[in-house]
Amino acid sequence: MPLTDLNQVIEDTLAERELKYQSPAAGRYFVTLPGTKKLQTNVWLRVNPHALVLEAFVCRRPDEAFEDVYRFMLRRNAKLYGVAYTIDQLGDIYLVGRVSHGSVTPDELDRLLGQVLEAADGDFNTLLEIGFASSIQREYEWRVSRGESLANLKAFEHMLTPSSPQV
């Protein structure tokens, strides 16, 4: 498929699905997918000479339990369609995928973006629970001590120590 046609398929699909995106250069698309647990997931779509590359930031490098986080990601990779978890040189977590130009259709692009959203949004709290448990507990204790809102920690109330007040 000629690159101009591929770019048109991408732009038409993003517009039809009413997804917010920016295109800072030809063949480069910064797409924002709305979420629930992770408020939004940003995805780069890059048209390379032989493939469309997807890359989405999921969360920063875990503070703890690295092996458990990586084990979760590897097991999860076996169930994902068209994308896989990876880490960058800093240890930050991403979802990445590659699709040959000839395979990019509106339905396939929709399916890939849907998989990115389902994984990034659906796995977000689990990744935080595994890799940031101590930080979540400290944040909770700090908020309780200052009388701050606990609303956005509600999803983690099952992790709190028994001596801590419940959210």
| Residue-range domains of the chain with CATH | 3-131 (3.30.1460.10), 134-167 (no CATH)
- CA torsion through residues 36, 83, 135, 157, sign: positive
Quick one: pLDDT at residue 47? 95
Quick one: pLDDT at residue 162? 47
Quick one: pLDDT at residue 74? 98
Helix or strand or coil: residue 83? coil
Quick one: pLDDT at residue 140? 87
**Which residue type does 125 have?**
N
Instruction: Measure the CA–CA gap between 56 and 61, rounded to whole angstroms.
Output: 14
**Which residue type does 71 have?**
R
Strand partners for 33: 41
Q: Which two tokens stand for residue 2?
A: 């000629």
Q: What is the pTM of this model?
A: 0.87
Count the neighbouring beta carbons within 10 Å of the beta carbon of residue 50: 10
CA distances, 91 to each of 42, 63, 94 (Å): 18, 10, 9
Question: Can you state the percent helix, strand and coil of the chain, rounding each to 5?
Answer: 45, 25, 30
Mean pLDDT by 10 residues, the chain (167 residues): 81 96 95 94 95 97 96 98 97 97 94 97 95 90 87 84 53
Quick one: pLDDT at residue 113? 97
